[in-house]
A and B are shown apart, each in its own frame.
Chain A
Amino acid sequence: MQVVSLDLTNFRNYQTLHLDPGPGLNVFVGENAQGKSNLLESLYILATTKSTRASRDAELIRQGTGLCRLQAQVNRTTDLDVKMELAISLVEKKQARVNGVKHTRMSEVIGKVNAVLFDLGDLEIVRGEPSNRRRFLDLEISQTSPRYVHALAAYRKTLEQRNHLLRDIRDRRAGPHGGETVGVWDVQLATHGAALMDGRRAFIDRLGQLASETHKAISDCRDELVITYQPSFAIDAIGDVEEIKREFLTRIDQVHHEERARGTTLIGPQRDDVQMLVNGADSRLFGSQGQQRTIAVALKFAERQLIEELIGEPPLLLLDDVLSDLDDLRRGHLFEFIGKAGSQTFLSCVSVRSFPPDILERASVWRVSKGLVTRQPE
């Protein structure tokens, strides 16, 4: 898909912006705090209705104003072209229009435009706590599997209720028959938990393989990345969801006394992790900054590939500050990869000095300065 025009009004540091991006690689270059990340963010919001950086929508509205508008014309090959409009206001509910049709339920407009974003926060997937990796899994799998969304909501609710009950049992507040109900919560936990584990296992299998290939290419065949699912208890690599559920119930039985003594659930997807080994070493602990960034980038390219397979056309690729920490060799391979991927790409950086000349030749280069964007050379 192709963004052929982007219009912003009172979004972050943009008073008004009109942009006609080029079809392939678009490079946004500028000093710090000029609006490069903001611009990429606006495209991500048009695709997902949400920002990854802002904790509240109000942060997106230009200070001193009360309403911001984002609008993009996106041409697609496998579906109708989309004119996507979003209005975010301090007082009213967020509103979207898709080809002029009004929506206030955001779930109805997600997926009309597809985008994959790499930003600084994604490094936490590699180097952060396990919760970062679980959030990444949930977010990615949810995008393509309604069943997973359903299981996730049911699992969280069940876990909350079960933890509450275990705490009551520990503190002897569970009532005369409270303890008897744990077994029923166990079944619920295992049912929804097995669905999550099954989804995560399949996703990591596929994503890991793709990421590994990308990673190998970007690192000039020097680094071998192996991504594996690390559930809170071992499961058969090929067993079906029913088998996982049975194993779940067996395991939860084994921690019966400990759970009641500690007052919390001790196994399940809330304790899952993903291991990323580079040449056999845990990259979370031993990876260099460049190596960690390479992994995060490889994950995003793998995600891009998965989405393309699913929707039948390349999604937008938004790469914020992707080049820092990478040496020239890795940068070169990354540019090759961007070219091969075939996604319309929006890349931000502080300088184009180290860019390969042939890449610059074919790219659309834009200078971003104080919320103004101008085509280079002017």
Chain B
Amino acid sequence: MSTHYAKPLARLVGEFEKLPGIGPKSAQRLAFHVLRIPEDEAHALAAAIVDVRTTIKYCRVCGNFTDQDTCFICTDPRRDQSLMCIVAEARDLIAMEKTNEFRGVYHVLQGVISPMEGVGPDRLRIAELQDRLSGGIVREVILATNPTVEGDTTAMYLARNIIKPLDPSIKITRIAHGMPAGGDLDYADQATLISALEWRRELT
């Protein structure tokens, strides 16, 4: 296919194609878009990519993305340090933050246990988690990995093998999964309904 394009253009199309969710058609559209926009905009885009790679790193404490040593959540004194939400990826943290509801702190595992992908506990940020929990400050841990087989397994492993043996007095909870709020029973897929039933609670 690259023979249809001038070399530099083919190169850009090729790079776009490597991005997640981008097929050949979209890659071509994006590349042509880059050629159409004003030159300084294109430079700004390139600079942003370079900049993000040179300045962004993982927060020393929680594993979130940051351009400092410690991220803005970990340094925020208004955050409740006794409540910790464990997520698989930084993007899950961002999703949680958007709710403006959670006032505790996070711990990002940077993955879930998946033998098929060669990910065992040693590949996750579990040693860092043990360090944080042994301080005695955290009183409740919310396990917020996805409700997939791998997410469930990771949550169960953390609860049984890591958190409980370390400090049995820490309260461990798992996020509920089921019906989306404002959702229509009629339109929910069956797996969602089943899990909504499983996670039902008593009305008082």
- B184 on interface, CB distance cutoff 8 Å: no
Q: How large is the interface on B (under 10, 10 to 19, 20 to 34, 35 or more residues)?
A: 20 to 34
Cβ contacts A to B, 21 pairs, < 8 Å: A146-B191, A146-B194, A147-B190, A150-B194, A154-B149, A160-B116, A161-B114, A164-B115, A174-B115, A174-B120, A175-B120, A175-B121, A177-B120, A178-B115, A178-B121, A180-B161, A181-B157, A181-B161, A184-B160, A188-B149, A188-B152
Q: How many residues in A have their beta carbons less than 8 Å from beta carbons of B?
A: 25
Chain B residues engaging chain A, CB cutoff 8 angstroms: 113-116, 120-123, 126, 148-150, 152-153, 156-157, 160-161, 190-191, 193-194
List residues 176-234 of chain A with CB under 8 A from any CB of chain B. 176-178, 180-181, 183-185, 187-188
- A168 on interface, CB distance cutoff 8 Å: yes
Known A164-B116, A178-B115; contact A149-B190, beta-carbon cutoff 8 A: yes
Q: Provide the bound-state CA to CA distance between A160 and B117, in Å.
A: 11
List residues 146-180 of chain A with CB under 8 A from any CB of chain B. 146-147, 149-150, 154, 157-158, 160-162, 164-165, 168, 174-178, 180
B174 to chain A, nearest CB (A): 13
B69 to chain A, nearest CB (A): 28
Known A150-B190, A174-B120, A178-B120; contact A184-B161, beta-carbon cutoff 8 A: yes
Q: Provide the bound-state CA to CA distance between A161 and B118, in Å.
A: 10
Interface centre among B120, B122, B191 (most CB of A within 10 A): B120
Q: Say whether B113 contacts A181, CB under 8 Å.
A: yes
Interface string of A324-368 (1 = CB under 8 A from B): 000000000000000000000000000000000000000000000
Q: Provide the bound-state CA to CA distance between A184 and B161, in Å.
A: 9
Q: Say whether A184 contacts B149, CB under 8 Å.
A: no
Residues on the B chain within 8 Å of A185, using CB = 153
Q: Provide the bound-state CA to CA distance between A271 and B200, in Å.
A: 33
Known A181-B121, A184-B153, A185-B153; contact A146-B190, beta-carbon cutoff 8 A: yes
Shortest Cβ distance from A182 into B: residue: B115
Shortest Cβ distance from A146 into B: residue: B190
Residues on the A chain within 8 Å of B126, using CB = 177
Q: Provide the bound-state CA to CA distance between A157 and B114, in Å.
A: 10
B116 to chain A, nearest CB (A): 5
Return the 6 tightest CB-CB contacts between A and B, nearest first: A146-B190, A165-B115, A164-B115, A175-B120, A177-B121, A178-B120
